[in-house]
């Protein structure tokens, strides 16, 4: 009935809370006991009244009732304070754990996971699991105890009558068992539909300008209409199930009272049962109806929680392709040479290899230019160096040692990478620049801003360096975003610098002046520069021309020009020599 297995992976977290849960169980036991005492006392009072013996005991009996409830109040207060609080603690730890885990996952995970989906695991799934360890545990234990105590008391008074009144309650449990899983299944589908609605709106709002520009708002609304309508129908389907189970619960709950009235009444008439005991029975049944109804709800919580736990476990089980399993005790990258030996790479879902047999050897302080047509594998190549993805075959060496031998932390500490599309946090400009280092002084931030020639623009903003940049840096121009990303990278003072087409949104004047400024800063750095503008790599020690993942030409700028191959053709296109002559 309870899908416990799904929660097994939470054992360590639960173990920590075990003593508190134990206290909680004892408290619930006391709660249930004092709860059952009330109908007993009422029955006693009626017995006294009916027989006319010991009527003066009524006052004390009433006091005892209040006393029982006082105890019960205290215990149930502490139950909540212990059990529910524990569930919140488990929730927090679980969430921390999940966050830490996804921080360690790499591209192989993120390239197939939708942000909205991952978010829903952090919100609704964790909450569903929390509900299991809080209310669900609390109510189910309480129901169990109440049932045991009430039943043992009822059996003591009249076991036959107990049996009769149990029949409707039995039906109730059957109904829950039959309908519960259905509700569960349908709810899961509704959940998915809702997440579809959420993904659709997310993309719509994020791409608002394009949608407006193409004037397809109506089509988008129509799409939404379809999604909403499916969701509407699904919810009605669930409502029907809930309506059936809900009315069944009321039916069986009240049916128990009817049975009591009939069978109990007949036994009274036969003189087998006193009115006082009848009252006790009545009270016990009143006590049981609510927990039984609650049980249906609790079962629901368990099923939902189990489904959510499985979803969480799927994330926690995801292993990064890249880890420290082969790391040795290397503590730093000393010189920073980079060597590729026959490296090939294929994306897990990719049809064709993104890189094939790429080799090069870049000495410390050297500069490698990488050029090539779109989708030739340039970004994929750069991603291999900080191990954002692992090479499929071949070796990537830094200072002669395979990069797997460096602990990830050491490796990435010595590498800075500026991705092709810069990502900015919705923080201030200063925070964005200093993101890579814990404690940058204002002067340092200003210094790198000057290097990438963005200092004057920043000074013009109303709040200067404290200007907030909006989601993904939406309030900045394309070139501004790129330059902030570069500033962030060089502030980290890496040994190896990877630039992926990073000045594509910057005009040539600014570009030249940035490259000029960076020269001093990067003199001792090993640099790998991907670009479509050949002028940015003319000074490189070696230039690779990629096509379809293979190196088709290599050499220095002048060597390549002499070859009269792809590179020289590109160069000619970009420079239009005739016009250069005009200028001179």
Partner 1 sequence: MTSKKTAEKNKEKDDAEDFYVEEVIDRPFSRELAGRLMRYLRPYKGLVLLSVMLILTNTALSLIGPLLIKEAVDGPLALPTEETESRELTGIGQLITDLGEGAGLSPIAVGSSIDERTQWLWVLVGIYAFTLLIQILMRYGETMVLNRTGQNVMRDLRLQIFDHLQKQSASFYHKNPVGRLVTRVTSDVEALNELFTSGFVTLVGDILAITGIVIMLFWTNAELASMVLATAPLLLISTTIFRRFARKHYREVRRRLAHLNAFTQESISGMEVIQVCRREEEQAQQYSGINGKLQDAHLKSIFWYALFFPTVELLSVVALGIIVVQGGERIEMGTATFGEFFLFWTYLTRLFTPVRDLAEKYNLLQSAMASSERIFTVLDTDTTFAEVDSKSEPATNSEQDSLDEIRFENVSFSYDGETPVLEDVSFSVKRGETLAIVGATGAGKSTIINLLLRFHDPVGGRLLVNGEDIREHSLEEHRRRFGLVLQDVSVMTRSLGENIRFDRDISRQRISEALEQVNGTEIVERQKLGLDEPMMERGRTLSSGERQLISFARALAGDPEVLVLDEATSHVDTETEAKIQEAIDRMVEGRTSVIVAHRLSTVRKADRILVLHHGHLRESGTHDELVEKGGIYARLVKLQFQSR
Ligand X SMILES: Nc1ncnc2c1ncn2[C@@H]1O[C@H](COP(=O)(O)OP(=O)(O)OP(=O)(O)O)[C@@H](O)[C@H]1O
Residues numbered 469 to 508 that lie near Mg ion (CB under 5 A) are: 477-478
- Minimum gap (Å) between residue 543 Cβ and partner 1: 13
Closest CB to Mg ion among 43 and 372? 372
433 neighbors 449 (Cβ within 8 angstroms)? yes
Phi, psi of 502 (to 5 degrees): -90, -5
- Minimum gap (Å) between residue 376 Cβ and Mg ion: 9
Contact call for residue 375 and Mg ion (CB under 5 A): no
Q: How would you classify the pairing of strands 367-372 and 355-362?
A: unpaired
247 binds, among ligand X, partner 1, Mg ion, none (CB under 5 to 8 A by kind): partner 1
Name residues contacting ligand X, limited to 289-318 (CB under 6 A). Answer: none
* Closest by CA position to 5, among listed 298, 305, 318: 305
d(CA 159, CA 181): 33
- Minimum gap (Å) between residue 435 Cβ and ligand X: 19
Residues 6+ away with beta carbon under 8 Å from 425: 431, 432, 435, 469
Contact call for residue 111 and ligand X (CB under 6 A): yes
Binding mask 68-107 for ligand X (x = CB under 6 A): ---------------------------------------x
Closest CB to ligand X among 334 and 475? 475
327 binds, among partner 1, ligand X, Mg ion, none (CB under 5 to 8 A by kind): none
50 binds, among Mg ion, ligand X, partner 1, none (CB under 5 to 8 A by kind): partner 1
Per CB under 6 A, the segment of 24-32, 60-68, 358-366, 478-486 that binds ligand X is: 478-486
Closest CB to Mg ion among 420 and 510? 420
- Answer for which of 285, 380, 492, 531 binds ligand X (CB under 6 A) is 380
d(CA 239, CA 305): 20
Phi, psi of 365 (to 5 degrees): 80, -5
Contact call for residue 377 and ligand X (CB under 6 A): yes
- Minimum gap (Å) between residue 480 Cβ and ligand X: 6
Closest CB to partner 1 among 395 and 515? 515
Q: How many residues comprise the chain?
A: 584
528 binds, among Mg ion, partner 1, ligand X, none (CB under 5 to 8 A by kind): none
Closest CB to ligand X among 198 and 344? 344
Closest CB to Mg ion among 19 and 478? 478
Contact call for residue 346 and ligand X (CB under 6 A): no
- Minimum gap (Å) between residue 584 Cβ and partner 1: 9
540 binds, among partner 1, Mg ion, ligand X, none (CB under 5 to 8 A by kind): none
- Answer for which of 79, 165, 245, 379 binds ligand X (CB under 6 A) is 379
217 binds, among partner 1, ligand X, Mg ion, none (CB under 5 to 8 A by kind): partner 1
Contact call for residue 383 and Mg ion (CB under 5 A): no
- Minimum gap (Å) between residue 379 Cβ and Mg ion: 3
- Minimum gap (Å) between residue 402 Cβ and ligand X: 22
Closest CB to ligand X among 285 and 531? 531
- Answer for which of 228, 313, 357, 420 binds Mg ion (CB under 5 A) is 420
3-state secondary structure of 568: helix
Strands (E), 423-504: 496-500
d(CA 298, CA 134): 11
d(CA 360, CA 334): 19
- Minimum gap (Å) between residue 510 Cβ and Mg ion: 13
What distance lies between CA 410 and its chain's CA centroid? 27
The token pair that represents 570 in the structure block = 């590109």
Phi, psi of 339 (to 5 degrees): -135, 135
- Minimum gap (Å) between residue 385 Cβ and ligand X: 13
Residues 6+ away with beta carbon under 8 Å from 2: 140, 299, 302
Binding mask 492-511 for ligand X (x = CB under 6 A): -------------x------
- The 3-class SS string of 335-355 reads CCCEEEEEEEECCCCCCCCCE
Closest CB to partner 1 among 3 and 192? 192
Query: How close are the terminal C-alpha atoms of the chain, in Å?
Result: 87
Q: To the nearest 10°, report the CA torsion of 224, 228, 229, 235.
A: 170
How many residues of this chain bind ligand X (CB under 6 A)? 22
CA dist 420 to 370, 380, 482, 532, Å?
A: 13, 11, 9, 12
Place of tokens 């209310």: 135
Question: Which residue in the shown chain puts its C-beta closest to ligand X?
Answer: 479
376 neighbors 434 (Cβ within 8 angstroms)? no
DSSP secondary structure of 425-445: -SSBHHHHHGGGSS---HHHH
| Packing angle, helices 275-317 and 137-157, rounded to 10 | 150
Looking at the DSSP assignment, which residues form a beta bridge with residue 543?
369, 555
Closest CB to partner 1 among 1 and 62? 62
d(CA 466, CA 462): 9
Question: Which residue in the shown chain puts its C-beta closest to Mg ion?
Answer: 379
d(CA 520, CA 34): 81
Name residues contacting ligand X, limited to 456-475 (CB under 6 A). Answer: 475
- Minimum gap (Å) between residue 205 Cβ and partner 1: 5
| Footprint of ligand X (CB under 6 A) | 107, 111, 347, 349-350, 354, 372, 374-380, 420, 475-480, 505
């Amino acid at each position: 009935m309870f899908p416990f297995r799904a929660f097994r992976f939470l054992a360590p977290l639960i173990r920590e809370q075990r003593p508190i849960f134990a206290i909680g169980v004892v408290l619930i036991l006391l709660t249930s006991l004092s709860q059952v005492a009330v109908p007993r006392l009422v029955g006693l009072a009626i017995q006294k009244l009916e027989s006319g013996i010991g009527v003066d005991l009524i006052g004390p009996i009433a006091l005892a009732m209040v006393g029982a409830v006082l105890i019960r109040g205290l215990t149930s207060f502490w139950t909540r304070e212990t059990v529910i609080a524990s569930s919140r603690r488990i929730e927090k730890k679980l969430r921390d754990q999940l966050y830490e885990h996804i921080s360690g996952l790499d591209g192989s995970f993120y390239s197939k996971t939708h942000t909205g989906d991952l978010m829903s695991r952090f919100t609704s799934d964790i909450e569903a699991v929390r509900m299991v360890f809080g209310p669900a545990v609390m109510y189910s234990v309480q129901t169990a105890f109440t049932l045991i105590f009430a039943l043992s008391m009822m059996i003591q008074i009249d076991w036959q009558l107990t049996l009769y009144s149990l029949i409707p309650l039995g039906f109730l449990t059957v109904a829950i068992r039959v309908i519960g899983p259905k509700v569960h299944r349908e709810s899961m589908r509704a959940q998915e539909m809702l997440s579809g609605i959420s993904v659709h709106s997310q993309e719509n709002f994020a791409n608002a300008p394009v949608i407006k520009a193409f004037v397809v708002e109506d089509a988008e609304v129509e799409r939404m209409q379809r999604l909403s309508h499916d969701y509407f129908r699904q919810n009605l389907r669930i409502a029907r199930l809930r309506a059936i189970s809900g009315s069944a619960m009321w039916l069986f709950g009240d049916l128990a009272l009817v049975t009591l009235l009939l069978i109990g009444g007949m036994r009274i008439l036969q003189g087998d049962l006193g009115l006082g005991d009848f009252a006790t029975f009545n009270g016990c049944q009143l006590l049981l109806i609510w927990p039984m109804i609650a049980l249906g709800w609790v079962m629901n919580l368990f099923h939902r929680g189990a489904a959510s736990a499985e979803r969480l476990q799927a994330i926690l089980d995801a292993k990064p392709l890249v880890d420290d399993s082969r790391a040795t005790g290397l503590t730093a990258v000393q010189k920073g040479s980079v060597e590729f030996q026959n490296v090939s790479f294929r994306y897990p879902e990719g049809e064709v290899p993104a890189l094939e047999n790429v080799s090069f050897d870049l000495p410390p302080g050297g500069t490698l230019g990488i050029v090539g047509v779109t989708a030739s594998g340039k970004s994929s190549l750069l991603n291999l160096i900080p191990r954002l993805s692992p090479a499929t075959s071949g070796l990537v060496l830094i200072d002669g040692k395979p990069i797997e031998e460096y602990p990830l932390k050491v490796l990435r500490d010595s590498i800075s990478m500026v991705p092709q599309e810069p990502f900015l946090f919705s923080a201030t400009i200063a925070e964005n620049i200093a993101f890579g280092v814990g404690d940058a002084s204002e002067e340092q931030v200003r210094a790198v801003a000057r290097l990438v020639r963005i200092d004057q623009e920043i000074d013009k903003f109303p709040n200067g360096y404290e200007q907030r940049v909006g989601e993904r840096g939406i309030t900045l121009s394309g070139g501004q975003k790129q330059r902030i990303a570069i500033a962030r990278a060089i502030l980290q003072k890496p040994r190896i610098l990877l630039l992926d087409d990073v000045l594509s949104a910057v005009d040539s004047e600014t570009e030249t002046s940035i490259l000029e400024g960076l020269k001093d800063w990067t003199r001792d750095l090993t640099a790998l520069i991907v670009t479509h503008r050949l002028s940015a790599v003319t000074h490189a020690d070696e230039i690779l021309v990629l096509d379809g993942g293979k190196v088709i030409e290599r050499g220095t700028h002048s060597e390549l020009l002499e070859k009269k191959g792809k590179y020289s053709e590109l160069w000619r296109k970009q420079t239009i020599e005739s016009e250069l002559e005009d200028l001179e």
